[in-house]
Structure 1
Amino acid sequence: MAFLTTIGSEIRSELRRNWGWILAAGIVMLLAGILAFGNVLMATVASVYYVGVLMVIGGIAQLVQVFYATGWGRLYWLLGGVLYTLAGILTFFNPLLAASILTLFLGAALVAGGVLRIVLAWRVDPDLGKWWLVAAGVITLLAGLVILFGWPVNSLYILGLLLAIDLMFQGWAAIFLAFAARKGLPE
């Protein structure tokens, strides 16, 4: 427990020392979120390009692994690397199609996650917050259904909208953290 206390005081000390930078980062994220909210189509395209870059990097990493694998492992890494790299490159040629596919996957993932949360919540004791877990599952499920029922039209804006919302919340969280750190966090 003393180890955790030491880590906690080190983090508090670092937060106090860097509160200005945290505030600046929060303001930048908040402004980026507002900018993304002002043009969700461009934010969607930017999100797709970001995912495309990550897929190309992941694909290249898998292709490098081909040289270190043996037997069937080589085929696994080769196929995975080629698919990832090609999918990443295709996002740059048709970002709106990629946005449509990503939005469809997002909606399906939210539906599956919501159903899973609801099912698992039924196993939780009501005294431990069972109904909060059920409510969270229902909200996740409904968010997925809204995305799926609006698909493919909402593919033009849903990813950008989520990016904008995330940037704004992260910005506000960093701003509040900076002010709390400046004021002095309790030990």
Structure 2
Amino acid sequence: MAVSSGIPRLSEVRGKWGWFVALGVALLAFGLLAAGNLLWATVATVYYVGILMIIGGCVYLAHAFQVKGWKDTIYWVLSALLYLAAGVLAFTNPVLTSKVLTLFMACALLVSGLFRIWVAMRSRDESGWGWLLAGGIVTALAGIVFLIGWPVNSLWLLGLFLAFDLAMQGWALIFFGLALRKV
């Protein structure tokens, strides 16, 4: 008797190739739409983050009141209020929020790139370590470029990331669906 892992078999997925292509076309269209107006795409990204922060704040607040007898309840409440404030800020001042998010993203890319470079240098004895180094350099350089352009680039950079991600996911799903159809 075969044990099912809950993951659909490839044969089950092949019959749904059209759904992958359709979703890919939709995501590609949204990516092109976002690329057509990077400012609006940035605002949409900020609102999305704001919604997530508000939901997170509400969950934290609910959690804080579930642990009433706990001596650290005040810290959960403060954390919830900070999340809620950040979420509200995204809606009341999306330009400022985009500046903060862009700065955070630039710093994260720079630090992440430097860590990747460090890991690559420690892996010089391994085959392919140069790919790690190249990836780290590109990531660190992206962080530096974003920092140099900040805060002006914060009006369009988040939108560009959204547009690029939507388009890439769209193309990936289109090609995946078409490959499933051929098999």
Fraction of identical pairs, as percent: 49
CA root-mean-square deviation: 1.8
1:144 match: secondary structure: helix
Unaligned runs of 5+ in 2: none
Match runs of 1:1-187 below 5 Å: 10-69=8-67, 70-184=69-183
Cα distance in 2 for partners of 1:39, 1:176 equals 26
Alpha-carbon offset, residue 73 of structure 1? 2.8
Cα distance in 1 for partners of 2:12, 2:45 equals 32
Q: TM-score, normalised by structure 1?
A: 0.91
Q: TM-score, normalised by structure 2?
A: 0.93
Q: Deviations over 1:126-173 (max 9, x none)?
A: 443111101100000000001000000000000000100000000000
Cα distance in 2 for partners of 1:30, 1:114 equals 28
Cα distance in 2 for partners of 1:11, 1:73 equals 47
Q: Which moved more, 1:74-83 or 1:103-112?
A: 74-83
Q: Deviations over 1:37-61 (max 9, x none)?
A: 0000000000000000000000000
Moved over 3 A (4+): none
Cα distance in 2 for partners of 1:20, 1:115 equals 41
Question: Greater share of helix residues, 1 or 2?
Answer: 1
Q: Deviations over 1:41-91 (max 9, x none)?
A: 000000000000000000000000012224333122111100001110111
Unaligned runs of 5+ in 1: none
